[in-house]
Structure 1
Amino acid sequence: MDYPIEIILAMVIVGQVCISVPILLSRVTTHAMNVPLALFLLASGILALNSTISLLLPTYYALYTAVAFPALFLLCPSLWFYVQGLTADTPWQLNKGQLKHYALIAPAVLISVMILFLPKDIHMAIFIHDKDIIEPFVTTLLIGILIMMLLWLMQCIYTLLKIVRRLNQYRKKLKDVFSNHDKKELNWMNWLLFITVSAWLCAAVTVFSSNLFNHALFNSNTEIVLSLLLIWCITHFGLQQKPALASLAEGATSDITHTDENPPNDHHCPTKKYQRSALDQTQSVRIASKINSAMEQDKLYLDPNLSLQALSKHLNISPNYISQTLNERLSVNFFDFVNQWRIEAAKPKILANNSTVLDIALEVGFNARSSFYKAFKQTTGQTPSEYRKG
């Protein structure tokens, strides 16, 4: 009864993968992180076809399992490298040293070769009918699969922890570089991780429950729906998302002339901290004064796309020195500093009550009503409506 639905969903997954992977690979010269994303998407698509292949093409199921097993070990490192590239300070490249993350693929391929050597009836008995076969070769194979699955689960946990930590660090860096970071925070990655964990747990629980209790806790429809959501999330957002910090680094040029507040050996990457900084107290006071003057007189905060790099070019001062001054002398990051000026500019407009909150937010440099509300409440302790009422 459920087979037609499962087949339709499987075909949708195949279609998404077949369309998205070539597009991603065509963009590799621009963003190398599209390679691991394409690998993750391809591996997810292969694994999602498990029940469909066993139902429609049982003759080729042995070949499918031999291909699908190594694909499982592409998931974690590929997802990690994609997140790493998306959150990197500079354009990301895959180097030979990083290939060690794919080390589990080698024993997985060995197990795949062993699977191909299984007689067809034994393969079907093990992988389709869940029967116990007492043979040395089969026992060795199953022990190998069990060990690899446990290693994969450990790799998943380790990778997900690394990704969460990386995303937290990235979101902190955004506040040192951009005055608005809507569509840069990668909030969709939270949903991706949730769906990924759900899909992987569902698959793992199904495997172990079917072996231990002779019945699966989740049916194949649950797995394929989660797989569809995962692949849709990857294709929808992954094809649109660009690395914010790396794009800023690519746009950085040497247009800033050398001054006493911008020494030639200063690093121009705005996300690096102040290692071996030569900034002294006198320079810091002078830079703080220039930053405030730029906001008060030139009203740079009105630009919704204002970034640390743009302010650096305007003042002809190293972005590292501006960031260091904001953090150490003014005790604020770039994001909060600019938004404080925007909130101060918004206050009289709110009290005048001649415009909507959204119009005021856009006038003073915010690019979303939600961002304005959040910043206003953080700065004043009140919502715009509460502030207007007095």
Structure 2
Amino acid sequence: MVSVFPTVLYSCMMGMVILASLDVFTRSNERQNLFLKGILLLLMLHLVGELYISSAVYVYAPGIAGLELPFKVLLGPALYFYAHATMSPEAEIDKRVKLLSFSGPLVVIIVMLPFILLISPAEKLALASPETRDPKLWKIAVMTCLSTTAIFIFYTLLFLGMALKLHNSHLEQLMERFSDIENKSLGWFRGVLFLWGGAWLLYAAEFSLGALGVRWFGTGIVLPLFTAFALAVFIKRALNQKVLKACDKGEPKEVKPRTALLSDEKMQAISTKLELAMKEERLFLQDDLSLNKLSEAITESENHISETLSQHMHTNFFSFVNTYRIEHAKDLLLNSDMLVTSIAYEVGFKSKSTFNSAFKKLVGETPTAYKTSH
């Protein structure tokens, strides 16, 4: 029996993936684009598998039931590979990570062998109805579904966690070297990770409940709706994400130079230079101020400045610079008639949204609320 709503929605999602693929496949062969192509291809296979069930095509081709499952286990690793290509300074992915990612489909295939070899196409079709299914074969089918679902969840959550850790590391490196990280931080990526995590957990739950013959009020409705939302957000953000330059990705860990520990006197001297550069020269007003530019301005190495900020001043470059920007903004809010947007640009921010976010984080209220309350 055809399930109309999920069939229509999964068909629309396939259209979204096809249109996105047409765009991506015309782009350069940057690693970021290559892995995005891989994700779209895997999503296409996933959607084909869902349509195979919801549209009742399995009635005409029961022999291919479940063949897409090994590919679904690659969705989590593919998202991690995309994150690595987009944000990591490392040129290559660790071989152990590659082996781990490809072990998932292999494990799924091994688990599925009884279902593939012991059940004929006609018997698979008979399993669709409680009246015609063989109890012994049904147990094999249920165990196959539950086992592959557990494997899918394990590999998906593992690689989503690795992608989240990679994103956190990327943000830390950016905040050590730049005062403006909005266009480099991939702020959207964290939200997408949680969206996909939720969608795939929901898929695993729905798949497992279906194998056990359990239906709930959201069966066939909640999962396709949530998946469509996650897919739309991911496609929009990923297509708009520019390829970052190598200098915006930090430095590979194995080649990052080790800095000697500075004495307290040396760090105190550098911190004095930093404060003078901010208070007297007002370098924080430069919207493109970076650690490199600050290093040139006070004639101290980047490594020494970073060590002073972290060890002596207990902050990072991003927070250090923006603290001065916010203090200057507070003065302008109370002692000028400038608009909030104008003040944001005046003190060195490149957008009002970034300014509002930084201001609220440091002050506890928005610029407008601060001006009103004071």
TM category (shorter chain) comes to 0.7 to 0.9
Residue 106 of structure 1 is matched in structure 2 by 106
Q: Which moved more, 1:380-389 or 1:93-102?
A: 380-389
RMSD of aligned Cα (Å)? 3.7
Give the conservation status (yes or no) of the 8 Å contact 1:302–1:363: yes
CA distance in 2, matches of 1:349, 1:272: 44
CA 1:363–1:214: 2 relative to 1, 3 Å? closer
Q: Shift of residue 370 of structure 1? A: 3.9
With over 3 angstroms needed to count, the CA separation of the structure-2 counterparts of 1:139 and 1:2, relative to structure 1, is closer
Q: What is aligned with 1:93?
A: 92
Cα deviation, 1:153-180, whole Å, max 9, x if unaligned, reads 2333333444444444443433222212
Which letter maps to 1:332?
T
Q: Does 1:158 align with 2:162?
A: no
Q: Percent identity?
A: 23
Q: Which residue matches 1:47? A: 46
| Whole-Å separation in 2 of the counterparts to 1:221 and 1:150 | 23
Matched, 1:284 2:286: no
TM-score by length of structure 1 reads: 0.78
> Measured at CA, do residues 302 and 270 of structure 1 come closer, stay the same or move farther in structure 2, by a change above 3 Å?
farther
How many pairs align?
Answer: 369
Contact kept, 8 Å, 1:73 with 1:105, in 2: the verdict is yes
Structure 2 residue 355 is matched with structure 1 residue 372: yes
Residue identity in the other structure for 2:340: V
My pick for the range that moved more, 339-348 or 353-362, is 339-348
Could you tell me which amino acid in structure 2 is paired with residue 188 of structure 1?
A: W
SS in 2 for 1:49: helix
Aligned counterpart in structure 2 of residue 333 of structure 1, from 316, 321, 340 = 316
8 A contact 2:176–2:306 mirrored in 1: yes
1:374–1:106 CA distance, 2 compared to 1 (3 A)? closer
Asked if 1:363 corresponds to 2:346, the answer is: yes
Q: Separation in 1 of the partners of 2:231 and 2:290?
A: 33
Letter in 2 for 1:119: S
TM-fit CA distance, 1:360: 0.9
Question: Could you tell me how far apart the structure 1 residues matched to 2:266 and 2:254 are?
Answer: 20
SS at 2:68's partner residue? helix
Aligned equivalents of 2:254 and 2:332: distance in 1? 34
1:337, distance to aligned residue in structure 2 (A): 1.1
Structure 2: tracts of 5 or more residues without a match: none
Matched with 2:233 is 233
Answer whether contact 1:33 1:92 (CA < 8 A) is retained: no
**Native 8 Å contact 1:274 1:324 kept in 2:** no
Secondary structure class of the residue paired with 1:103: helix
Q: How do 1:58-137 and structure 2 match up within 5 A?
A: 58=58, 61-62=61-62, 64-88=64-88, 90-94=89-93, 96-100=95-99, 101-110=101-110, 118-126=119-127, 128-129=128-129, 132-134=133-135
Distance 1:167 1:119, change over 3 A: same
Q: 1:60 to 1:305 in 2, by over 3 A?
A: farther
Give the corresponding residue for 1:261: none
Q: Which amino acid is 1:133 matched to? A: D
Distance 1:102 1:36, change over 3 A: farther
Q: Is this contact kept in 2: 1:62–1:116, CA < 8 A?
A: no
1:319 aligns with 2:318: no
Q: State how far apart, in whole Å, the 1-side matches of 2:346 and 2:20 are.
A: 39
Deviation of 1:200 after TM superposition, in Å, equals 2.1
Task: Assess, with a 3 A threshold, how the Cα gap between structure 1 residues 310 and 14 changes in structure 2: closer, same or farther.
Answer: farther
Q: Aligned pair 1:308/2:291, yes or no?
A: yes
